[in-house]
Amino acid sequence: MSALEPLLSVEDLQVAFKTQDGFVPAVRGVSFDVYPGETIAIVGESGSGKSTTAHAIINLLPGSGRITGGKVLFEGRDLSQLKRGEMEAVRGKEIGLVPQDPMNSLNPVHRIGFQVEETIRANGLATSKRDVRKRAVEVLKEAGLADADQRLRQFPHEFSGGMRQRVLIGIGLSSHPKLVIADEPTSALDVTVQKKILDHLEHLTAERGTAVIFITHDLGLAAERAENLVVMHRGKIVESGPAREILQNPRHPYTKRLVSAAPSLASQRIQAAAATGAPIGSVEVEGEEPTLSLLTVAERAAEASVDAPPVIEFRDVTKVFKIRTGGPRSIPFTAVDKVSFQVPKGSTMALVGESGSGKSTAAKLLLRLEDITSGTIHVDGKDITELGKQELLALRRKMQPVFQDPYGSLDPLHNIGNTIAEPLNVHRVGDAKTRKARVLEVLDQVALPQTVLARYPNELSGGQRQRVAIARALALKPEIVVLDEAVSALDVLVQAQVLNLLAELQSELGLTYLFITHDLAVVRVIADHVSVMQQGKIVEQATVGEVFDNPKTAYTRELLAAIPGVDIPLGA
């Protein structure tokens, strides 16, 4: 086969999901080619049909999904017409899969070795017990797990997310397939791990000339890893072509919005905008509400006063957990280790670090959801660790949290109106009438229509839910808002909206934010000060500008380098 023949050719693919009201289209006439050895990225928000397209190729559509039209030609064969047995022969052997969520993509009840070996056997790479074992060890070694012999005997829960994804990459590439579909392979991982994993995947596929379809919602990541991009929106391809060209010169309005909203690209974009003197980003698409440009966020954040007296002050705060072992004893684990920082009134302090660095524990200590082991936390000059029940209630009235998971932090049995009113009821603020007025007021502040009041959380989108969570936090007119990964679960466009909202509310109401995140790219557009945490300790503390321009510790540099797309120059 000549190099000019596409390996995979998707022609006018249509996919629909069967519902009570008939078929609802999810993919509407998608066409693209993948050449041998080429990496293409399909980019889009959740619900854009990018994952559905990928799953349709290997006929693994969930539940009621059906291919309703078009062709999937793989080396000239139409995969959509294959019988079940024929398809099972293609999967794994010809087309590998690297799944989205490493935490849930390995069967928790089987050993790692078992799951690698069954792949090897199913794809006929080895048959005798010894050969299968030998090949399994090779696969794990290629995947970058050094002590593969021992690893085979372990269970998935004994592996970190990054290690699991390495195993899954190993499984996906074990039979040296011609094409690999990598479905958001790192969206569940820390940024620094993400970079290592993707480097590794790139190394393996480049070495073997494997073609890759890379599915992601992160435009920066896509541009960094793929030669060609396919941008999807509402089941259609809105733009496709060479990655850098699209990034530097997006033509379709939706692509322009994506480029302007991607936080990983924001730093370059701000400089570019400064050079031309015009904000980029507020482009309207198909009657949707326009997003504010991130530039305004950055500007407003910068306006926040940094010389005001500290509202929050951590002094040598330490938290030790007791870890239970199998026996009668327990071992101590220091989650937060002598952490000190101050947050001036009206400003934003970002606590940055990987999972396990203790940043969320620090937030819980501030909220008094956990008791501190030693040290003091002062809020408005008062030591909160000493507070009695009444004083604690008063403290919580002026300090409200917003958590990461908008799906988990709203009670599914309460409608939105009751959810937002709950803190007002708990703290007995005003009467029924004024409470109702306050609910409407905050709803307006987070730009949600009054019609959502009677709705339930499952009827709202992720972005809307996070707005509800913010509205609930604002209901009591707090002075401090603790945002624990409050935008991490959101798509880029929604993320940009919520960040804008937070910055606006801060300048309007003079709020102080403690912003917990693992994503330095977001920090740049929202924070004034940054504290980088590693293994419970603060390793670097400075203003946002200093951290980005002149990182002092190797760990911070590592975090910065891990922001995808950081090296890609953008056209103005």
Partner 1 sequence: MLWYIVRRLLQGIPVFFGSTFIIFSMVFLTPGNPVLRMFGDRTPAPEQVAALEEKFHLNEPFLTRYFLYLGDILQGNLGTTYAGQSVNEILARTFPTTLRLALLAVIIQLVIGVLVGLISGLRKGGIFDNVSLLVTLLIISMPVFVLAFVAQWIFGIQLGWFRPTVGAGAPWSDLILPAIVLAGLNMAYVVRLTRASVIETSQNDFVRMAYGKGLSRGRVIPVHILRNSMIPVTTNLAADFGILIVGATVTEGIFNVPGVGNELFKAINRGDTPEIVSIVTILVIVYVLVNIAIDVLYGVLDPRIRYVK
| 109 touching partner 1, by CB under 8 A | yes
Burial of residue 153 (number of CB atoms within 10 Å: 0-12, 13-18, 19+): exposed
Question: What does the alpha-carbon distance between residue 396 and residue 265 come to, in Å, rounded to a whole number?
Answer: 36
Closest to partner 1 by CB, 276 vs 325, is 325
CA separation for the pair 166, 72 (Å, rounded): 29
- Per CB under 8 A, which region of 93-101, 223-231, 385-393, 426-434 contacts partner 1? 93-101
- Regarding 106 and contact with partner 1 (CB under 8 A), the answer is yes
Residue 502 contacts residue 483 (beta carbons within 8 Å)? yes
Count of all residues that appear for the chain in the document: 572
Helix boundaries (H) for 374-491: 389-397, 416-426, 432-445, 462-474
Interaction of residue 105 with partner 1, rule CB under 8 A: yes
Cβ–Cβ under 8 Å, residues 480 and 512: yes
Distance, CA of 201 to CA of 446 (rounded, Å): 41
Taking CB under 8 A as the rule, does residue 22 contact partner 1? no
Q: How far is the CB of 168 from partner 1 (least distance, A)?
A: 7
Nearer to partner 1, 97 or 486 (CB): 97
**Shortest distance, CB of residue 9 to partner 1, whole angstroms?**
21
Burial 490-527 (b: 16+ CB within 10 A, else e): bbbbbbbbbbbbbbbbbeeeebbbbbbbbbbbbbbbbb
Rg (CA), the chain: 25
| Near partner 1 in 146-185, by CB under 8 A | 155, 157, 168, 171-172, 174-175
- Rounded CA-CA distance 207/204 in Å is 5
Q: Are 10 and 32 in contact (CB under 8 A)?
A: yes
Which of the stretches 118-126, 235-243, 478-486, 505-513 binds partner 1 when contact is defined by CB under 8 A?
Answer: 118-126
- Under rule CB under 8 A, residue 369 binds partner 1: no
Based on the shown chain and the rule CB under 8 A, indicate whether residue 388 belongs to the binding site for partner 1.
no
- Pick the stretch among 89-97, 215-223, 256-264, 513-521 that binds partner 1 (CB under 8 A): 89-97
3-state secondary structure 343-384: EECCCEEEEECCCCCCHHHHHHHHCCCCCCCEEEEEECCEEH
| From candidates 1, 21, 84, 147, binder to partner 1 by CB under 8 A | 84
Given the rule CB under 8 A, which of 103-111, 267-275, 411-419, 449-457 is the region that contacts partner 1?
Answer: 103-111
Q: How far is the CB of 85 from partner 1 (least distance, A)?
A: 8
Q: Which is nearer to partner 1, 123 or 512 (CB)?
A: 123
Measured between alpha carbons, how far is 50 from 52 in angstroms, rounded to an integer?
5
Among 28, 50, 93, 300, binds partner 1 (CB under 8 A): 93
Site string for partner 1, 261-300 (x = CB under 8 A): ----------------------------------------
Nearest approach, Cβ of residue 317 and partner 1 (Å): 28
Distance, first Cα to last Cα, the chain = 41
Residues 315-334 that bind partner 1 (CB under 8 A): 324-328
Q: Which of residues 521-560 bind partner 1 (CB under 8 A)?
A: none
Give the nearer residue to partner 1 in terms of CB position, either 171 or 384.
171
Contacts for 438 with CB less than 8 Å, ≥ 6 apart: 424, 429, 430, 475
The 44-63 contact track toward partner 1, x by CB under 8 A, reads -----------x--x-x-x-
Contact 190, 355 (CB under 8 A): yes
In this chain, which stretch among 97-105, 283-291, 354-362, 384-392 interacts with partner 1, using CB under 8 A? Answer: 97-105
Q: Give me the residues that bind partner 1 (CB under 8 A), please.
A: 55, 58, 60, 62, 84-85, 88-89, 91-93, 96-97, 99-101, 104-110, 118-119, 122-123, 155, 157, 168, 171-172, 174-175, 324-328
